[in-house]
Amino acid sequence: MTFHRAYNFCAGPATIPEVVLERVREELLNWKGRGSSFMEISHRSTDFLKLVFEPARENLKKLLNIPEDYHILFITTGTSHQFAMVPLNFLNLKPHKSADYLHTGVWSGKAINEAKRYGNINVALSTENNRFTKMCSPNELKLDSNASYLHYTPNETIHGFQFHTIPETHNVPIIADMSSEILSRPIEVSRYGMIYAGTQKNIGPSGLTIAIIHKNMAGFANALTPTLYQYQTYIDSGSLYHTPNTFGIYMAGCIFEWLLNLGGISEIAKINQRKSQKLYDAIDHSSFYRNPVQKEFRSQMNVIYYLPTVELDQLFVKEAQNNHLINLKGHKSIGGIRASIYNAMPEKGVDVLIEFMQEFERKYG
């Protein structure tokens, strides 16, 4: 049966490289000649550990150049679980049991609301008054030198707002929710106390979170923290305290290999830079499409834009879908269009989208 694989701009779970899907299809029934799939073997078997789990961890370490003094954990949760795990594990790092949070969109907002249940949370900066489209002036930043950590969301998936430099702090550990940008550009892991990311954007299917934690940060969990909410549990058991999401780990490993074969993070970063630049140029060179985000903070992963009317936004999404350009509808909280162009979106997909946008403008502009 022939079919047309669409260019899928979904914000998450997001598109997966076609070659990876083909590999999975190939390996599904008879993985490495074992007569079963990788999902049907024990997570404690040598096969799983040596051929799936350890290579995935090692390849992630290689890709991000993760120093030896960091733990790499695979946690079977959604990303939102981290909004509770982070304060439960790290508020105790300092006697004040407080933390600084930057509020730059829906996801950092959710992290703040959850953290407030456990301790003293200082919102050191909020761009809510600017509808999360512009950064505040530096004198509005209210950092607390007694904070146990500073939490921020480098890429706000819904608002298409991305930090391109690491925020200043009073020398407190930085914790970043990198769900929608991990592996898209080089990062200096040693600048962070902890990085976490759900896998459903740049690392495969949903249901798995990767945490990279500096060794000095572990072991401070609040005494009543449930076992599976303590990072120490994952550290002590090598992320195998309970049956993990073996399919998710296998898929993550395939994605890491795909990225390494492509030339690693420096290579994908160049492609991502080109893809987003083209799309923003197409928006900026037209008076029909409009992106509201301050230029220095525009996201390379989630490009949002508006047409002149809501009706045109809706028509655009519908006609795009008829042309195999799918999942372009903006998040319900802000409307408009959102093109998520993560690592797995081929450059050709962005070119086809731009051609479609130009054609649509000619027709309705």
Q: Which is nearer to ligand PLP, 67 or 226 (CB)?
A: 226
State which residue, 80 or 323, has the beta carbon closest to ligand PLP. Answer: 80
Q: Which amino acid is at 24?
A: V
Residue whose pair of structure tokens reads 């029934």 in the numeric block = 29
Residue 13 found at the interface with ligand PLP (CB under 6 A): no
Q: Which of residues 62-101 bind ligand PLP (CB under 6 A)?
A: 78-80
The two structure tokens encoding residue 279: 């799309």
CB 342 within 8 A of CB 301: yes
> Exposed (0-12), middle (13-18) or buried (19+): which is 42, by Cβ within 10 Å?
exposed
Helix (H, G, I), strand (E, B) or coil at 290: strand
User: Which residue number, 126 or 153, has a Cβ lying nearer to ligand PLP?
Assistant: 153
- Residue 106, classed as helix, strand or coil, is helix
114 binds ligand PLP (CB under 6 A): no
In the complex, what is the shortest distance from the CB of residue 110 to ligand PLP, in angstroms, rounded to a whole number? 7
DSSP state, residue 79: T
Minimum Å gap between C-beta 115 and ligand PLP is: 13
**245 sits near ligand PLP (criterion: CB under 6 A):** no
Q: Does 300 bind ligand PLP (CB under 6 A)?
A: no
End-to-end CA distance of the chain: 38
Whose Cβ is closer to ligand PLP: residue 198's or residue 253's? 198
Min CB(107)–ligand PLP separation in Å: 4
- Catalytically active residues are 107, 177, 201
Q: CB-wise, 82 or 225, nearer to ligand PLP? A: 82
Residue 157 within binding range of ligand PLP, rule CB under 6 A: yes
Is residue 177 involved in binding ligand PLP (CB under 6 A)? yes
107 binds ligand PLP (CB under 6 A): yes
8, 153, 184, 340: residue in contact with ligand PLP (rule CB under 6 A): 153
Supply the minimum distance, in Å, between the C-beta of residue 6 and ligand PLP.
20
Tell me the C-alpha distance between 351 and 221, whole Å: 48
Cβ atoms within 10 Å, residue 294: 13
Neighbours of 359 (CB within 10 A): 12
Distance CA 46, CA 73 (A): 19
By CB under 6 A, the count of residues binding ligand PLP is: 12
Size of the chain in residues: 365
Contact with ligand PLP (CB under 6 A): which of 87, 109, 198, 330?
198
Closest CA to 225 of 91, 329, 110, 107: 91
Interaction site with ligand PLP (CB under 6 A): 12, 78-80, 107, 153, 157, 177, 179-180, 198, 206
